[in-house]
Amino acid sequence: MIVLIIIAAILLIMGIIILIGKGDNLIAGYNTASEEEMAQYNIKRLRGLIGSLLIILAPTMFLLHRESTMTTTWSFLAIVFILSIIVVILANTWAKKK
pLDDT by position in tens, the chain (length 98): 788 889 999 999 999 999 999 999 899 888 899 999 999 999 999 999 999 999 999 988 877 766 667 777 888 889 899 999 999 999 999 999 87
Distance of CA 33 to the CA centre of its chain: 18
Within a domain: 76? yes
What is the value of pTM for the model shown? 0.85
Within a domain: 12? yes
Within a domain: 98? no
- 19-28 burial code (b ≥16 CB/10 A, e <16): beeebeebbe
Within a domain: 66? yes
Please state, in angstroms and rounded to a whole number, the distance separating the CA atoms of residues 69 and 53.
Answer: 24
Parent domain of 54 = 2-92
Within a domain: 58? yes
Q: State how many domains the chain has.
A: 1
Find out whether 46 and 91 touch, Cβ atoms under 8 Å: yes
Within a domain: 97? no
